[in-house]
A = this chain, B = another copy of it.
Amino acid sequence: MLNDIVKNLLKEVSGIAEIPANAAFNIRNNSKSEGRHSTENIDIVPKEGGSGLDIYVKPFTKNENVHIPALITQDGVSEVVYNDFHIGEGAEIEIIAGCGIHNCGCDDSVHEGIHRFFLGKNSKVVYIEKHIGEGDGSGKRIINPQTHVEAEENAYIEMDTVQLKGVDSTKRVSSAKLGPGATIVIKEKIMTHGHQTAETSFDVSLDGAGSSAKLISRSVARDFSRQLFRSKIIGNTDCYGHSECDAIIMDNGVVAAEPEIIANHVDASLVHEAAIGKIAGDQLVKLMTLGLTEKEAEAQIINGFLK
């Protein structure tokens, strides 16, 4: 059913080469479903008019995963997709989302994915999101993801998001409201080149006693690309928040960081760190004395940084 471009993109975005046999999945390509499967514990229900999915995970589901890649392999596609994840009490699950755009045409293709997570008590979610742009058309590859989390007591979510190449423009908006004892960990990796732009915005409200947030952003801006990192952590109770943003600039890249921490409670403990700069000269020299060229040394340092 899937042609080579689709198969290849699917593999890059979600790590799967074919439609999975028995796992829960939905593969979206050019705004249509190319296949969908629910399991006993995971029910994937399309919303009306193809505008997205409701994904229901039964309480106490363990060791299952859901693949929901969204692909665009034509130019001139523009879509907004709403996916809602309803995670039952005590469920532990991995969700592999992500978007790949292969654009060989001259019109822009745009994917806007709006994901909401409703995390039941004691649930645990690992959410993996990879964004990829491909194709040699002049039309742009634009991906604007939104992720909104509401976490009940002691729920845990870890979000790993990666965008390493080919996406011309991205605006990433994430928000979370955490109940008592709930935890969010966000790990973001971005590399931009050419004239690409990337904007990231995190907004976390620590509302429940003992809740915590850890945001880690690592990014590289090459060529003439521009990046903006925003984060806001609000501590309304006994809570812990930590945000760190490390960026490497190369060539004519520009990076701005605007973090914000607000302690509204005496037991809120909030920390932010940000550092922007080029690759340290002594790191380069060290690798070059081991026989690497400057370009190879740079590549090795960048790889390690974004690992």
Q: Which residues of A contact B (CB under 8 A)?
A: 235, 247, 249-264, 266-278
A245 CB, nearest partner CB in chain B, Å: 9
Q: Among the listed B235, B267, B272, which residue makes an inter-chain contact with A273, where contact means beta carbons less than 8 Å apart?
A: B272
Q: Among the listed B251, B253, B263, B274, which residue makes an inter-chain contact with A261, where contact means beta carbons less than 8 Å apart?
A: B274
CB-defined A-B contacts under 8 Å, sample of 9:
A249-B266, A254-B263, A254-B264, A257-B261, A258-B260, A259-B272, A267-B278, A271-B275, A272-B273
Contact yes or no, A257 B260, CB < 8 A: yes
Q: How many copies does the complex hold?
A: 2
* In the complex, chain B residues whose CB is within 8 Å of the CB of A258: 258-260
Smallest Cβ-Cβ distance to A277: which chain B residue: B269
- With the chains together, A267 CA to B260 CA distance in Å? 25
Given contacts A258-B260, A272-B273, 4 further A-B contacts (CB under 8 A): A254-B263, A257-B262, A268-B276, A269-B276
Contact yes or no, A272 B270, CB < 8 A: no
* In the complex, chain B residues whose CB is within 8 Å of the CB of A274: 259, 261, 270-273
* In the complex, chain B residues whose CB is within 8 Å of the CB of A235: 276
- With the chains together, A268 CA to B221 CA distance in Å? 13
Contact yes or no, A256 B266, CB < 8 A: no
A294 CB, nearest partner CB in chain B, Å: 14
Q: Which 10 interchain pairs have the tightest Cβ spacing?
A: A269-B277, A256-B262, A263-B276, A272-B274, A258-B260, A271-B275, A270-B276, A266-B278, A255-B263, A257-B261
**A254-B264, A260-B258 are contacts. A277–B273 as well, Cβ < 8 Å?**
no
A279 CB, nearest partner CB in chain B, Å: 10
Contact yes or no, A272 B269, CB < 8 A: no
Contact yes or no, A250 B266, CB < 8 A: yes
- With the chains together, A257 CA to B269 CA distance in Å? 13
- With the chains together, A277 CA to B262 CA distance in Å? 10
Contact yes or no, A251 B276, CB < 8 A: no
* In the complex, chain B residues whose CB is within 8 Å of the CB of A247: 263
- With the chains together, A263 CA to B247 CA distance in Å? 10
Smallest Cβ-Cβ distance to A255: which chain B residue: B263
Smallest Cβ-Cβ distance to A274: which chain B residue: B272
- With the chains together, A282 CA to B244 CA distance in Å? 25
Smallest Cβ-Cβ distance to A252: which chain B residue: B266
- With the chains together, A276 CA to B273 CA distance in Å? 12
* In the complex, chain B residues whose CB is within 8 Å of the CB of A252: 266
A270 CB, nearest partner CB in chain B, Å: 5
Q: Among the listed B253, B261, B275, which residue makes an inter-chain contact with A266, where contact means beta carbons less than 8 Å apart?
A: B253
* In the complex, chain B residues whose CB is within 8 Å of the CB of A249: 263, 266, 268
* In the complex, chain B residues whose CB is within 8 Å of the CB of A269: 276-278
Contact yes or no, B256 A261, CB < 8 A: yes
A110 CB, nearest partner CB in chain B, Å: 28
* In the complex, chain B residues whose CB is within 8 Å of the CB of A259: 258-259, 272, 274
